[in-house]
């Protein structure tokens, strides 16, 4: 957080003497570090102890790593090559060790001379490079290195005593160069301004910020690192929660029309038609939503529910309540397939209540219209007219709803389905169509751990649906290791045939469509893969068109197989979905267009090809498309990855539990925090460098409480200018927009 002028100074100036403009350029382009403050907040990823070497056994493939190790031996080989035909090519092979494992370093050509002189057996150094595999052994090719000579003065000055900080680095800038740059600017840490109110900092026993910055970059003991981390985590959590608390406070000041359903109106008539009883969860969440709708400031609520927990029913009842109260409701879906599906299922659920103004429509009925980009001009004109006059109480559509031409009579509620698929601007544009800010309900079937909900969706109140409606069947999931046990894959296709023979249907999901322009020449030049894992990784992902073709000619011969993917014409997609929903198609081979909202209760089996190419949450979403009726569901995860690989462990986790919250936790632990937050924050650079959303649940919850209290007492932060400064630094333009529009 660039807190004061000294810390806002661009890196190019103060570091000229040490690094020069080229390094400042690399820092800006590859690490996003522009100012002295940015550099001070580029924290070490971990620390090496001088007396203790890295575990070479744990090195990740294809990542840039920094290791501290000792040279075991070095051998110079000569060889003949095209460039050196007389056997004058040189290759230096250096083996380094840390007691836990060994690693080979290779240097070629003119690059061998310096390391040949310096990397003698017994020498200790820091090495940085990209881990690759050659002849089934891990190696670093041409790593950068820095000798650790043990000169006492240098070790104290440069490496801060016994603990050597290892920084997140890039191929163009090694960790120790970043370390040296940070040493240069470290004195300016004294000028960092305290964002935390004194009472909060002292009450929680946190060290002052300048001291924390000093201790994180130059710790003398592990206790120093702990002190610094505790303090810096609190800064991040608190400043972010203050930003969100101020959003919530500002939203609470906005005016909105309270929407209370009329007694014996549309909602009552709808509830009376339902052939089943709502679950306790659906009733509880509906009450929370109706309470919000009745207030005179806009509802901002996130509705999370497991796949198939009945979110659409809850959202529909909220929309009917608003129509009852004289307003209109709009539901925004991420794809045309999903918008059409929602429209069909809502019209079915409402029956004659969806036939407002038509012959045979019920007395309290309204009109439910669909609006998508591919509609014909006449149908579109008709739908737009119904919205302007208020004849249509409910509209379901894609981003076509956001266009300037779309005018509402009185928009009272916006329901956003699968929020992570929408840009913030799109939601904002739709909200801007109300005379006053409409109420907002955001739905997601991707379960979000509580801490992420507090961090990413911290300006929304959260409701959770965690029960499945009665009559839903359990889904059995199994991993099918196609490479190790090919007969398992044959059995998978037999199972699909059995389901079809029993009157059911199946999905086959592939990662790719298959009509892309593939260049066979390019792929032909690739070297043969080194291992089964490489082979599975390097093969292009399986494609819908190829797989469908193979199935029709082979294991599913005689069954009616159709394909569905995103590049088909919308009318064709709709026709395919209708045939599948009507039971005319036995097997649908599709991409992830079926991931959300597709509801065919008769589909009981799903085979996911190259399942290792999908994320954990995505697999869980896909699996939720089966088992939606009374017959049990079956999901088969096909992979060619070897048994010990992380990908197989991930698939094992998906097969072992149907608990989406547990899986989202696994998913989050396996991806970097920034990916999750960055994606959810509409591309904004994540501000969390120290805070781990999963591990630091307690800090986030406490920071949220403190932030809410601070903002309630002083919304403009008039008495906390330093916190205001920190907030401005956090909310660069992009994030400010994200929070404003969230």
Which range has the worst mean pLDDT, 49-53, 145-149, 322-326, 675-679? 675-679
Confidence tier at 436 by pLDDT (50, 70, 90): confident
Query: CB within 8 A of 676, min separation 6: which ones?
Result: 452, 456, 668, 693
Higher pLDDT, 494 or 28: 494
Q: Tell me, what's the pLDDT at 6?
A: 56
| % the chain with pLDDT above 70 | 81
Q: Is 677 exposed, middle or buried (0-12, 13-18, 19+ CB in 10 A)?
A: buried
Average pLDDT, the chain: 81
Confidence tier at 683 by pLDDT (50, 70, 90): very low
Report which of 468, 455, 461 is spatially closest to residue 442, judged by C-alpha positions: 461
Higher pLDDT, 343 or 697: 343
CA distance between the termini of the chain: 22
Name residue, tokens 């955001």. 442
Q: CA–CA separation, 267 vs 272, rounded Å?
A: 9
Give the SS3 label for residue 173. Answer: strand
Count Cα neighbours of 420 within 13 Å in the Cβ-side half-sphere.
19
Both tokens assigned to 110: 């003119």
Q: Is the pLDDT of residue 141 over 50?
A: yes
Confidence tier at 558 by pLDDT (50, 70, 90): very high
DSSP string for residues in 352-406: GGGBTTSTT--TT--EEEEE-TTS-HHHHHHHHHHHHHT-EEEEEESGGGGSTT-
Pairing of strands 163-166, 392-397: unpaired
pTM over 0.75: no
Residues 429-448, mean pLDDT to the nearest whole number: 80
Which of 152-156, 335-339, 537-541 has the highest average model confidence (pLDDT)? 335-339
Q: Tell me, what's the pLDDT at 115?
A: 92
* Element containing residue 328 per DSSP (H, E): strand 328-332
Q: Tell me, what's the pLDDT at 30?
A: 80
Q: Tens digits of per-residue pLDDT, 380-396? A: 999 999 999 999 999 99
**Cβ pair 175, 166 in contact under 8 A:** yes
Q: Tell me, what's the pLDDT at 294?
A: 95
* Element containing residue 128 per DSSP (H, E): strand 124-134
Pairing of strands 137-141, 124-134: antiparallel
Q: Tens digits of per-residue pLDDT, 585-631? A: 999 999 887 765 577 889 999 999 999 988 887 888 888 888 877 78
**Cβ pair 543, 514 in contact under 8 A:** yes
Residues 212-220, mean pLDDT to the nearest whole number: 92
Q: CA–CA separation, 107 vs 577, rounded Å?
A: 58
């Amino acid at each position: 957080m660039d807190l004061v002028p000294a810390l806002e100074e661009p890196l190019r100036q103060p570091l000229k003497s040490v690094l020069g403009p080229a390094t400042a350029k690399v820092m800006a382009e590859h690490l996003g570090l522009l100012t002295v403050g940015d550099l001070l907040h580029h924290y070490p990823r971990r620390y090496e102890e001088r007396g203790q070497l890295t575990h070479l056994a744990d090195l990740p493939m294809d990542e840039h790593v920094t290791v501290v190790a000792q040279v075991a031996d070095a051998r110079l080989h000569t060889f003949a090559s095209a460039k050196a035909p007389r056997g004058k090519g040189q290759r230096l092979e250096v083996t380094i060790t840390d007691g836990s494992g060994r690693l080979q370093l290779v240097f070629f050509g003119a690059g061998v001379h310096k390391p040949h002189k310096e990397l003698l057996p017994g020498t200790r150094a820091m090495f940085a490079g990209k881990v690759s595999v050659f002849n089934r052994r891990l190696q670093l090719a041409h790593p950068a290195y820095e000798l650790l000579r043990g000169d006492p003065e240098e070790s104290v000055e440069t490496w801060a005593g016994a603990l050597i900080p290892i920084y997140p680095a890039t191929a163009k800038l090694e960790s120790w160069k970043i370390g040296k740059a940070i040493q240069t600017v470290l004195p300016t840490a004294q000028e960092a301004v305290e964002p935390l109110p004194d009472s909060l900092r002292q009450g929680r026993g946190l060290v002052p910020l300048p001291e924390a910055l000093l201790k994180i970059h130059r710790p003398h003991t592990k206790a120093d690192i702990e002190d610094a981390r505790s303090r810096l985590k609190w800064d991040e959590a608190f400043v972010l929660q203050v930003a969100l608390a101020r959003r919530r406070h500002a939203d609470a000041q906005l005016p909105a029309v309270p929407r209370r359903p009329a007694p014996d109106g549309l909602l009552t008539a709808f509830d009376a038609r339902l052939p089943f009883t709502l679950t306790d969860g659906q009733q509880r969440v509906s009450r929370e939503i109706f309470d919000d709708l009745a207030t005179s400031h806009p509802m901002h609520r996130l509705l999370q529910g497991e796949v198939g927990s009945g979110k659409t029913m809850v959202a529909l009842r909220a929309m009917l309540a608003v129509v009852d109260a004289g307003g209109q409701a709009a539901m925004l879906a991420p794809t045309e397939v999903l918008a059409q599906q929602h429209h069909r299922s809502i019209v079915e659920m409402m029956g004659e209540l969806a036939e407002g103004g038509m012959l045979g429509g019920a007395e309290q009925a309204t009109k439910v219209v669909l609006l998508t980009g591919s509609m014909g001009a006449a149908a579109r004109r008709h739908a737009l007219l119904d919205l302007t006059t208020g004849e249509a109480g409910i509209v379901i559509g894609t981003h076509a709803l956001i266009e300037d031409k779309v005018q509402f009579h009185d928009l009272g509620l916006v329901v956003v389905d699968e929020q992570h698929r929408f840009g913030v601007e799109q939601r904002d544009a739709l909200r801007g169509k109300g005379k006053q800010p409409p109420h907002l309900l955001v739905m997601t079937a991707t379960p979000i751990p509580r801490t992420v909900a507090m961090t990413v969706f911290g300006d929304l109140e959260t409701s959770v649906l965690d029960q499945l409606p009665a009559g839903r069947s359990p889904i059995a999931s199994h991993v099918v290791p196609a490479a190790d046990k090919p007969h398992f894959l044959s059995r998978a296709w037999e199972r699909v045939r059995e389901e079809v023979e029993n009157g059911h249907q199946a999905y086959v999901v592939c990662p790719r469509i298959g009509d892309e322009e593939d260049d066979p020449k390019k792929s032909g030049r690739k070297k043969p893969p080194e291992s089964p894992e490489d082979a599975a990784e390097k093969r292009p992902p399986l494609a819908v068109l190829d797989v469908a073709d193979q199935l029709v000619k082979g294991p599913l011969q005689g069954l009616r197989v159709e394909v569905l993917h995103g590049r088909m014409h919308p009318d064709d997609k709709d026709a395919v979905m209708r045939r599948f929903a009507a039971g005319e198609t036995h097997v649908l081979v599709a991409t992830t267009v079926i991931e959300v909202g597709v509801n065919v209760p008769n589909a009981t089996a799903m085979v996911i090809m190259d399942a290792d190419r999908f994320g954990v949450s995505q697999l869980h979403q896909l699996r939720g498309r089966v088992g939606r009726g009374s017959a049990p569901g079956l999901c088969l995860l096909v992979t060619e990855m070897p048994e010990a690989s992380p990908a197989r462990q991930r698939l094992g986790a998906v097969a072992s539990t149907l608990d989406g919250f547990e899986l989202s936790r696994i998913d989050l632990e396996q991806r970097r925090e920034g990916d999750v937050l960055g994606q959810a924050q509409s591309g904004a650079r994540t501000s969390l460098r120290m805070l781990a959303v999963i591990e630091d649940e307690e800090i986030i919850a406490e920071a949220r409480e403190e932030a809410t209290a601070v903002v309630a007492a002083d919304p403009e932060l008039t008495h906390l200018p330093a916190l205001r400064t920190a907030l401005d630094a956090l909310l660069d333009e992009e994030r400010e927009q994200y929070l404003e529009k969230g």
